Structure 1
């Protein structure tokens, strides 16, 4: 299965996620949903935030040229938000999955949907 298929079929098609991407720790974007303008530098900073917890809390993250407040950094998961939307970043063995929810979606459904894909990747050693 291609990386784009994971994004489109396992995340966007569920209607629980507005936009999503899969990327590596060096910022290389493997796949992203249509219209999601995440930069390689933003993906790299998001991956680095797992090891720079205090910086993430103090400065937030910029994704798609928009600044987000980081509210939780745990091993394997970062949660961020603005007033209108939020995101979840899951760390798998080799990659990171970021997904967003909007104001007409529930954060819990977005988190569950993204977490399932992350669990699948982990079970496959990805």
Structure 2
């Protein structure tokens, strides 16, 4: 399966995630929703490299700023109104899933399920 298939079939097709990306921890965007630009440097260096700064300044992705709800080595969560973001690292990648109008828990389960699978196969 291609990386784009994971974004399209495992995240977007659920109807719970509106925009998504899979970023390589070593760099590069492996796959993303059409027109979606999850800022590589922010996600890899700031969200997981300096979670305290994200806690205070918020999460800005694709030009939209979310209030940080959680920022630690396992997960970064943000929300503003009906929109939210779930960011979860795996062994080699970082999954980014934005949602709009979906309950936060439902969106989190979708992204976490894919993250758990990728970890189980070494990614």
Tell me if the contact between 1:26 and 1:44 (Cα under 8 Å) persists in the aligned partners: no
State the TM-score, normalized to the length of structure 2: 0.91
- Stretches of structure 1 lacking an aligned partner (at least 5 in a row): none
State the TM-score, normalized to the length of structure 1: 0.89
Within 5 Å, give how 1:1-126 maps onto structure 2. 1-38=1-38, 42-48=39-45, 49-103=47-101, 105-126=102-123
User: Shift in Å at residue 27 of structure 1?
Assistant: 4.6
- Stretches of structure 2 lacking an aligned partner (at least 5 in a row): none
Structure 2 residue matching 1:51: 3-state secondary structure: coil
Deviations 1:15-69 (A, max 9, x none): 111110000235511100123233xxx2221122212121111111220012222
Paired residue total: 122
Tell me if the contact between 2:20 and 2:96 (Cα under 8 Å) persists in the aligned partners: yes
